[in-house]
Chain A
Amino acid sequence: METFSDSLSTAFRLIWSADPELADIVLLSLRVSLTAVFFAAFLGLPLGAALAVGRFPGRQAIIVVLNGFMGLPPVVVGLLVYLLLSRAGPLGEHGLLFTPSAMVIAQTVLITPIIAALSRQTIEDAWREYEEQLRSLGASAGRAALTLLWDTRFSLVIALLAGFGRAAAEVGAVLIVGGNIAGVTRVMTTTIALETSKGDLALALALGFILVGLIVAVNAAAQLTRQWALRHYG
């Protein structure tokens, strides 16, 4: 059993030397989570805008459910997607289980409510300020929703980021539908869980540093973008 400081120095050496196994894991993590953010944005931003601007029966109920789904447990999402994709499930014929695609699907399900609920809040606040002016100029509800999506773009980055943070950091969903297969579906979080239980702390620690570093860096970049936008666009 290595000592903690041995693990630590091995971890830094792995990062410093850009160890190929480590790099593959990090890249797969990024690929899966960023793809999930892309699809979740594609679904969640229009949904958020429609809920912010539209007035239709059931709107309030959808908002309540959406807000509740922001806290969906990843293992439950993993289980549901597993049932959908397993051989006997409705989508079983596509053979997606235990592939990165399955992980993207699970994370998309997990973070779409987050992106939709946060963007709904942002856009609704803007709508309160803009509604009379946009209606006066003759904007339809759909047109107003598009205008607001564009006008709040710098704030919506925060919603996307919350989704990315959630996706990159969760372990339950990707573990269940991905299976943590070395070289195929092994991502940062699942590797950390596995290597820690095996007692190989160096790789787990290295991945932990990279994961935290990535999330801090992405948040910092978004914060700076937002500050720049505030100064530049008001």
Chain B
Amino acid sequence: MNNGRGSVFPLVLDQVCFSPKGFPIVDRVSLAIDAGVRTVILGANGAGKSVLMRLMHGLLLPTSGRITWCGRDQRAEAQAMVFQRPVLLRTSALRNVAYGLKLAGMPRAERMKRALDALKRVGLSHLSQRPARVLSSGEQQRLALARAWTLEPRILFLDEPTASLDPTAARDVEEVIREIGATGCKIVMTTHNLGQARRLAEEIIFLHRGRVMEYTPANVFFHAPRSAEADAFIKGELP
């Protein structure tokens, strides 16, 4: 499905602001995100991480500024997003995964086969016929990951994907995220969990009150943060 869709990178944000009712939630953000490494958007609660991600994904429109995909204003189609709380339909796990492919117009037989493949990859094939909404939260989140994965996105956004999970389930989800990244899909993820950022991040975008304070490789960020805010966040002084 990736073939022939052209390049989507770099994803460039140019002076992007989001300020409904005049209050800036995302403030003059300029970034160029390229394929490859796993990017983690880090920051305290209320720093604007989720809003920034929704702007990138196209669920929100910037109040001002510009977002381009490989130089084009048009929103790239080859992207997917996984939310903090998975939103699953009242049907089987398998049909939930196939739903995204159905929207993309894929014939039934093929989408069922691909959905089952995706379920296998996240370790849920034995639950394929179970109603999705009665699975455990960890299984539901892996199901949401399978649904995103089966679309073969070039970039996958994850908004606090483990925030409502227990540590074991969170590790399972992190493992799947790693595997998706290993297939060449760009990972962009928000978290306020430092441990998770250390485990998964290859580069860090650090947000503070809607502004990007740092955009650096992860090892630089954790060992020699440039801003006082990032330093305080790493030391656990920021809320």
Contact = CB atoms under 8 A, between A and B. Distances in A.
Interface string B119-145: 000000000000111100000000000
Contacts of A233: 90-91, 131, 133-134
Contacts, number: 49
Contacts of A4: none
Interface in B57-96: 57, 59, 77, 80-81, 83, 87, 89-91
B99 interface: yes
A13 interface: no
Contacts of B151: 137
Nearest to A138: B103
A151 B92 CA distance: 12
B100 interface: yes
A60 B42 CA distance: 40
Nearest to A136: B81
Contacts of A132: 54, 59, 81, 83, 87
A153 B89 CA distance: 11
A150 B77 CA distance: 26
A135 interface: yes
Interface in A153-170: 153-154
B104 interface: yes
A234 B134 contact: yes
A143 interface: yes
Nearest to B79: A136
B59 A135 contact: yes
Interface in A139-155: 139, 143, 147, 150-151, 153-154
A110 to B, nearest CB: 30
In order of increasing CB-CB distance, the 7 nearest A-B pairs are: A234-B133, A133-B87, A233-B90, A136-B81, A234-B134, A233-B131, A137-B100
Interface of B: 54, 57, 59, 77, 80-81, 83, 87, 89-91, 99-100, 103-104, 131-134, 147, 151
5 contacts: A132-B54, A134-B87, A138-B77, A233-B90, A234-B133
